[in-house]
Amino acid sequence: MTSGAGTRDRWRAVRPLGHRDFRMLFTAVVLSVFAAGMWAVVMVYAVIDTGGGPLALSLVAAANAVGLLACAIPGGIVADRVSRRLVLRAIETVNVLAIASVVVAGWLGALTVPHLTIVSFLLGGGAGFFFPAYSAVLPRILPQAQLLAANGLESAIRPALQQAAGPAAAGILLAALLPAQAAVVILLAHAGALVVLLFLRPEPVAAQGDGHGEPAGEKAEGSAAAGVRGILRDLREAVVFTLRTPWLLWTLLFATLWVLFTVGPETVLLPFVTAERFGDDPRLFGFLLAFFGAGGVVGSLFVSSLPLPRRYLSAMTLVWGFSTLPYIAIGLTQSYAVMAISCALAGFGFSYGNVIWGTLLQRRVPRHMLGRISSLDFFVSLALMPLSMAIAGPVAQVVPLSVIFVVAGIVPFLISFAVLALARMPQDEIAHPLKDD
């Protein structure tokens, strides 16, 4: 490798920031993700402030997942048919209105669990539209060689803000303020994201023969047959592609089971495990989420600062599998330090795999159906999230919390090896090498 190549490698992780539109988009994502991180903690204590317990928190958390799933497929279809920047602006508008309603209701003393459930559903629905639009816009504004780095940046700031800075800030605010008062900061962050998105320029027109299977020009996308028949045709095309692509299909099925076993314990039960073992201080729970985020930042930056692994499917699947083993320690330890380290290790593995996964979608899926495939990714992989959140509380009434976390750690780890073999991932990644240049 020449010295010039070495210099390029040194700045690989931040090179996408040299593009003006990516900087605008990235800034909006930073603000929105920070707001989502704060909401994850504010939501918990808003429910508790209304007198709710694990069952009420399960309801509110599950509503978020239901909204996500309900909007995932429509979000993908819209992302392939409508201006992505318009979609992103509409999402942030809904977020601003939803959080504003929490602030107003809280200050009036009228905040209820049903209200929080509706807001949670709207925020989840916004995420269902956001990810397909965001994933579909990146290959249109960035060179192919910079997609891994862009996904790495997004995957780094997501845990850093959504699981670290956001929850930590919320925990500190909640130690002195009511949940509705802390939500003002969330409202300001979403409003800032909306303002930044107003400066995002129209996407460049795709050049003919771009190598991604996309018709020349953005109008070719939008000229698909309108109405129900056109929508069903779009959806069928994406479903058929997924079913005929083993690495994609089996990864989605693995993600579905991974979510079933881990999301409910982490989202619903971890606050109560923390309170039971270490006290009711909101900062203790917020800092545990911060350790999840810190591990995610390190994992994202680590994988994005290097070339895509030659055995990219094997690396992604196995790291995801190993990332659940720390849940065993979370379930068994009485040490806050051990629990924090375990959260960081889980976050590292989760984000490491996610950076590779997002890059594979953008490089191995035809661009004209990328929004739909991304939405199927959301829908299939998160299909059991509402169930995981909804049953976590009731299951915890009859099964010890330690047992639930041990199962969450072991089962996905074992499934990862089965998926690797069933999808023949080692053979696939050798037959389809991906190079950075």
**209 pLDDT higher than 50:** no
pLDDT-derived band at 222, boundaries 50, 70, 90: very low
Average pLDDT score over residue span 84-101: 93
pLDDT-derived band at 205, boundaries 50, 70, 90: low
Instruction: Report helix angle 336-364 to 312-322, nearest 10.
Output: 150
Q: How far apart are CA 134 and CA 374, in angstroms?
A: 10
Fold of 18-200+234-431: Growth Hormone; Chain: A; (1.20.1250)
Average pLDDT score over residue span 257-281: 87
Q: How far apart are CA 352 and CA 329, in angstroms?
A: 20
Return contacts of 224-233, CB within 8 angstroms, 24+ apart.
224/81, 231/77
Domains of the chain, by residue range, sit at 18-200+234-431
* Percentage, residues of the chain above pLDDT 70: 89
Distance of CA 381 to the CA centre of its chain: 11
Contact 287, 340 (CB under 8 A): yes
pLDDT-derived band at 57, boundaries 50, 70, 90: confident
Tens of pLDDT, residues 126-139: 988 888 888 888 87
Residue 207, helix vs strand vs coil:
coil
Average pLDDT score over residue span 231-259: 87
Tens of pLDDT, residues 332-375: 999 999 999 999 999 999 889 988 888 888 788 887 787 788 77
User: What confidence score (pLDDT) does residue 102 get?
Assistant: 92
Q: How far apart are CA 147 and CA 6, in angstroms?
A: 19
Q: How many CA atoms lie within 13 A of 386 on its CB side?
A: 20
Average pLDDT score over residue span 215-220: 39
**233 pLDDT higher than 60:** yes
User: What confidence score (pLDDT) does residue 224 get?
Assistant: 41
Q: How far apart are CA 368 and CA 80, in angstroms?
A: 7
Confidence (pTM): 0.67
At residue 68, φ and ψ (nearest 5 deg) are -60, -50
Q: How far apart are CA 30 and CA 27, in angstroms?
A: 5
Mean pLDDT computed over every residue of the chain = 82
Instruction: Check the CA dihedral 130-135-139-143 and report its sign.
Output: positive
